[in-house]
Structure 1
């Protein structure tokens, strides 16, 4: 199974639409959003995902959490307050927005994949068996493009895709 990872969209509707296209073209079956969608209108764009599980965590810029959660749940997505701790296609996954809990999750060796956002910088590394991924920001304030990541759960490989 291939999963798409996006974070820090910060109401960048153009970037979200492009990410959805990339995920569809890449055969993604699940999308993880690691926080900072910002507004319910941005969350609503993810209704365009077809036959795809959507899991989101709240970030520090997600002020109207009740509306965001309601929007995500209205299209069948899952929205979690601070972290997601679950299973995707037989892999154990932990996702949070702020990276302070990432090290503890990775060190526990209880997870195959740990996802985070917040820093706006791409990161891929391993701690033992655990793959840690930050896709970077879907809205890059300093440059023309943002990025998303695609993880193939079969071999735990990661690719980054530009949103330009």
Structure 2
């Protein structure tokens, strides 16, 4: 998990995250390697684009504006999965297959 610009009580988030072994709170930026894929996570689109252009990552994800976006930049996929609440568009989330390098957006259904 990374921080954005409207996360509320950061200390409380740290306390909650510490109680769940499957949650890692990275702060404002994360680099992770999964199945030989290099992945970067950051909240804002401008630094996300620069990371994608660096050629160091297979996937770069951001989310500040909550607008779904998928773009190939060289060998990197730049993704904003959009929003999950449905306030500005269809509620959904993104799924990236580290083996195939494929991304798909899945809609939430009621």
Shift of 1:73: 2.4
Which residue does 1:89 correspond to in 2? 35
Shift of 1:141: 1.2
2:83 corresponds to which of 111, 126, 137? 137
How many residues are paired up?
108
Alignment check: 8 A CA contact 2:94 2:106 kept: yes
Higher normalized contact order (CA 8 Å, seq sep 6+, divided by chain length): 1
Specify whether residues 142 and 99 from structure 1 end up closer, same or farther in structure 2 by C-alpha distance, changes over 3 A only.
closer
Alignment check: 8 A CA contact 1:94 1:115 kept: yes
What are the superposed Cα offsets for residues 123-161 of structure 1, whole Å, 9 maximum, x if unpaired?
111110111111100012145x41101111111111111
Q: 1:97 and 1:73 mapped to 2: Cα distance?
A: 21
Where in structure 1 are there 5+ consecutive unaligned residues?
Answer: 1-55
Q: What pairs up with 1:15-164 in 2 under 5 angstroms?
A: 56-76=1-21, 77-143=23-89, 145-164=90-109
What are the superposed Cα offsets for residues 3-50 of structure 1, whole Å, 9 maximum, x if unpaired?
xxxxxxxxxxxxxxxxxxxxxxxxxxxxxxxxxxxxxxxxxxxxxxxx
More helix by share: 1
SS at match of 1:159: strand
Alignment check: 8 A CA contact 1:120 1:140 kept: no
Specify whether residues 142 and 115 from structure 1 end up closer, same or farther in structure 2 by C-alpha distance, changes over 3 A only.
closer
Bigger drift between 105-114 and 66-75 goes to: 66-75
Moved runs in structure 1, 4+ residues, more than 2 A?
none
Where in structure 2 are there 5+ consecutive unaligned residues?
Answer: none
SS at match of 1:100: helix
